[in-house]
Structure 1
Amino acid sequence: MTVLIDPPEWPAHGMLWSHLVSDASLDELHDFAAANGIARRAFDLDHYDVPDRSYDDLVAAGAEPVGGKELVVRLRASGLRIKARDRVRKH
């Protein structure tokens, strides 16, 4: 079981963002996020969006840094990935 994080490359709200996922379970992901002060509102069905300023601390806490493509491959392999077509748009 591993929590994964990709590099902060996704621009929004004047900063860059990373994705934090688990390759095993959402419980593991939620536990890791809570232990590291990430608000539940940052959860988006299969991942947490985390700001660039948190990246180094999350890696130090045990998140495995991986590239964005590898993160998606491993999330899909876990069975936890929510496909774009299955996402409900937030308004």
Structure 2
Amino acid sequence: MTLYIDPPTWPGHGRMWSHLISDVSFDELHAFAATLGAPPRGFDGDHYDIPSDWYEAAIAAGAIPVGSKELLRRLTKAGLRRPKGRPAES
């Protein structure tokens, strides 16, 4: 299981957010997100939006912290990148 999370530097809804991805499968990503308590609505096509106050818990649960550019590189290399406007798999 390999999951990655970038720093909570993305603003939205009065909070800061991280992106959580898998470089293996969406099934792995959904299972890990569920263990964190992330709701299905947090899935945004190819990643979960994770609030900043969950960042340390995600790392403690096994997510590897990486920079945003590295996260995108790993997601793209895994073939799991879903650019905005393309249908998402669940």
- After TM superposition, the score normalised by the length of structure 1 is 0.91
Task: Give me the whole-angstrom Cα distance separating, in 2, the residues matched to 1:76 and 1:85.
Answer: 16
Equivalent residue number for residue 54 of structure 1: 54
What does 1:1-91 align with in structure 2 at a 5 Å threshold?
1-86=1-86
Cα deviation, residue 85, structure 1: 4.6
Question: C-alpha displacement at 1:86, in angstroms?
Answer: 2.5
Q: Structure 2: give runs of 5+ residues left out of the alignment.
A: none
Where do 4+ consecutive residues of structure 1 move more than 3 Å?
A: none
Q: Structure 1 regions of 5+ residues with no counterpart?
A: none
- CA displacement, residues 37-88 of structure 1 (integer Å, 9 cap, x when unaligned): 1111100110000100000000000000000000000000000001235369
| Residues in 2 aligned to 1:82 and 1:32: alpha-carbon distance in whole angstroms | 19
2:33 aligned counterpart, secondary structure: helix
Once residues 52 and 27 of structure 1 are traced to their aligned partners in structure 2, the CA distance between those partners, rounded to angstroms, is 23
- Hey, what's the Cα distance between the residues in 2 that align with 1:53 and 1:7? 11
**Kindly, what percent of the aligned residue pairs are identical?**
56
User: SS of 2:46's equivalent?
Assistant: coil
TM-score using structure 2 length: 0.92
